[in-house]
Amino acid sequence: MKSISLFFFLVFSLFLTGCTQQLFGNKTSRPIPLKPLKTITKSLQTQTNWQIKTGSIMGDNKIHPYIDGQTVYVAGASSVGAYNNNTGSLIWKKNIGEVISAGINASTNASNGKAQQIFLGTSNSNAIALNASTGNIQWIERLSSEVLSVSPSKNGRVVFRTIDGKIHGLSSSTGELIWQRSQRSPALTNMGASVPTLVGPLVVSGFDNGKVAAYNLQTGKPAWEVTLAQPRGRTELDRIIDVDGKITSLGNALFASSLHGSAMGVNLQSGETAWSKSFSTTTGVSVDPNGLYSSDDKGKIWKFDPQTGNPIWSMDDLQRYEPTLPVLVSASKLVVADKKGNIHFINATNGKFIARSKGDPRGYSVEPEVVGNSIYAIGKGGVLTKISLR
């Protein structure tokens, strides 16, 4: 598994660093302290509706909650839980019996938007569908390796991305494997993968070789691929070029970003590149007609022009706080969480803080989910928080 490879590489690097310090008498450098957060002149009224301990420890796994308007679904460790959207009270909880490594996504009823199936993946290579009302397992399909992300379902298909660089198109009703595609993965990568994006007849996925590729959702037939990054740098860590973050579409355009590579605007039908800007991030991008938003690998928040990729503003107040992807709450507001458990609200026009709330004290590795005026954030410690704008 690439997480194990990365672990041993880091241990070996630390060993060499220690040897060098002993040979040359260097003192171990202390980490740079976080700068204090700026005091906010609050101009946005927020309310924490409820905050619960789900017991589903997330750690650094990038498992997203799923909200269907009535219910909030959360997974972590080996359990999945459904919670009442209004009160936060538990509806059901299911122990899967193995470590959950990907999810959550769903199939929904076309008439009312209510979830019918819940999809997740495990470190033991299993793709799993649960009944959304009861938590009972509907099907299990063994895939090629550990599952890193899963799409929602559309037109009878659901797509799972595995750690070996493959995506798998399954029947959402039966779990039968319909098609499979792969990209070559480098020896060393980050632990994570972008959620496959379903748009029109295509599924679009990012890969650890710095590429984004589109396939026909029904058949898996390749449509196009683009390269966001090429390996560069002196060290193996510098040469990691994963496309792990959120890939977003807007009209006829698709937007994606990579680590140690670029942010890019792409024509959705042809795969032709409209613009490309040097950029490094693991969080991906969010977009509306007014702006393209991301946080870079140093913790700086950015707004770009989606037509050209030119920067509009940047904000460095969260450097080294490891902020998540900034997510649009409205055309004028963003929400972003950080490793210290803060949930920040930012004016999307000028990049200024407008409100702040406290969430999971163990911090966040995935961005908040936004449904209407409500924000849902699941932290590394399994604390689920619902915040509403007033």
Confidence of residue 24 (pLDDT cuts 50, 70, 90): very low
User: What average pLDDT does this structure show over 297-309?
Assistant: 97
Of 205, 207, 231, which is closest to residue 220 (Cα–Cα)? 205
Higher pLDDT, 152 or 14: 152
What's the confidence (pLDDT) of residue 190?
62
Look at residue 25 in the predicted model and tell me its pLDDT. Answer: 41
Instruction: Say if residue 219's pLDDT is above 60.
Output: yes
Task: Please check the confidence at residue 278 and state whether its pLDDT lies above 50.
Answer: yes
| 19 pLDDT higher than 70 | no
Lowest mean pLDDT among 80-89, 224-233, 333-342: 224-233
pLDDT above 80 for 61: no
Least confident of 68-72, 185-189, 331-335, 376-380: 185-189
Q: Binning pLDDT at 50, 70 and 90, where does residue 186 land? A: low
Q: Provide the β-strand partners of residue 147.
A: 162
Lowest mean pLDDT among 24-33, 38-47, 127-136: 24-33
Predicted local distance difference test score (pLDDT) of residue 1:
47
Single out the residue of 100, 187, 115 nearest to residue 152, CA to CA: 115
Where does the pLDDT of residue 357 fall: very low under 50, low under 70, confident under 90, or very high at 90 and above?
Answer: very high
Choose among 205, 207, 107, 101: nearest CA to 157: 107
pLDDT-derived band of residue 6, with 50, 70 and 90 as boundaries? very low
DSSP 140-173: EEE-SS-EEEEEEEETTEEEEEETTSEEEEEETT
The whole-chain average pLDDT of the chain stands at 90
Task: Read off the pTM.
Answer: 0.88
More confident residue, 232 or 329: 329
The CATH code of the domain at 63-182 is 2.40.128.630
Given a cut of 60, whether residue 8 has pLDDT beyond it is no
- What span, in angstroms and rounded, lies between the C-alpha atoms of 18 and 30? 14
Q: What is the pLDDT of residue 43?
A: 92
Closest CA to 278 of 313, 315, 249, 241: 241
Q: Residue 242: its pLDDT value, please? A: 77
* Residue that wins the pLDDT comparison between 27 and 171: 171
Tell me: the pLDDT tens digits for 111-162?
Answer: 888 999 999 999 999 999 999 999 999 999 999 999 999 999 999 999 999 9
- 258 φ/ψ angles, rounded to the nearest 5 degrees: -140, 165
Confidence label for 62 from pLDDT (cuts 50, 70 and 90): confident
pLDDT value for 189: 59
Note the pLDDT of residue 7: 44
Q: What percent of the chain is predicted at pLDDT more than 90?
A: 77
